[in-house]
Chains A and B, each alone.
Chain A
């Protein structure tokens, strides 16, 4: 009896090992990638904030004049003298101290921006390769975020379009179910340019969610390319 159980266990382990390997597919890879990019965004934001705070002790005038992070990083490569000339600053409030530590931070932040760029390219490639229709409609960033919120592509295609519309607004949705507050109109899709630009955002979100839902199903079952047709319907 004992031996029988033992051999059963061995079979279970073999089976599960194989099945785990089969379960790890391209969308698990994509989910890792997009989560990594989201992490990078947070880290970069934190580092730039610190960099600005620090650099403002040295030359505060620049930080206010260059609100955009990446151009700020480019600007502060120059020396203090050059910058004062360029921005016509006669006298700075900042203190003159060694900039070496600030410069180290700047360099590493720059590297992180490069890393993000590279990973974004990789994401574009992966999404384009496996889910061309979804990428055409949603873009690689939002498309992969939808997959990550759903858990997998299989889950995403099993959702109705109305669920795709409010993915990323779970908090508002549960508040609606619990207290009867007004339901959310869009979740992550708000950052989609089609929704962001539209005047009637709810309607736009519903329409784009509809088309993304169709595109995802086509992608999952390896259908032919219909992304352009679906996109034309939105106009």
Chain B
């Protein structure tokens, strides 16, 4: 295997086309987060990023030019769950950065707490992302990136609330929209158009991309705060 750096900072790849795999450099060598493979090469350890389990991973597999997350940055992650995607973000931002992960479910938060013991750049917050004022004491005033993956009916509203409160000027926000949890009877395309229009009112759309074939009826929308 031959792992090489991609255009994206902190993301590595091997193979091409159908056999393409992506990796991040393991921040905590020797430890797995989910059932991913660890690959040792050039004296470094890489963790495979499985796109079927991570929406950010499937976004990268679409051949994007930028993932908007850089080393040393502060990231607000809404719907962090047990930290599958967050662990890769944690690899990318490295030791100087910090992920603030919000999730309302205590069960997955327990798993995340154990992950936090190993990874010193994740801060877990048990709370409801619909009420961003509830965790303002625990957060810095502004963050560099807001990432959202919550699969809620009003997910665009939740996203806007948090972006308005916490995202710095010129910062990027990423939202993974799941059509089937917004409205199961409407056509996915109509839902995406509606969400896009809702976001466009206040923010600049940078990228709009379907996550097929890894996730069905999902799109990733990247926005920039004006």
Contact = CB atoms under 8 A, between A and B. Distances in A.
Interface of A: 2, 4-6, 8-9, 11-13, 15-17, 19-20, 23-24, 174, 177-178
B195 interface: no
Interface residues of B, number: 22
Contact of A11 (B74, B96, B138, B185): B138
Interface string B106-146: 10011001001000111111110000000000111000000
Contacts, number: 52
A4 to B, nearest CB: 8
A8 B106 contact: no
Contact of A15 (B74, B121, B122, B125): B125
B109 A9 contact: no
B184 interface: yes
Contact of B140 (A5, A15, A24, A178): A5
A150 to B, nearest CB: 14
A4 B140 CA distance: 9
A15 B102 CA distance: 12
Contacts of A19: 106, 126-127
A19 B102 CA distance: 13
Contacts of B122: 9
B124 A178 contact: no
Given A12-B125, A177-B184, A5 B106 contact: no
A17 B100 contact: no
Contacts of B120: 6, 9
B95 to A, nearest CB: 8
B221 interface: no
B185 to A, nearest CB: 5
Contact of A23 (B74, B106, B113, B139): B106
Contacts of B185: 177-178
A5 B74 contact: yes
A2 B72 CA distance: 10
A174 B140 contact: no
Contacts of B124: 12-13, 16
B98 interface: yes
A20 B113 contact: yes
A12 B100 contact: yes
A17 B140 CA distance: 20
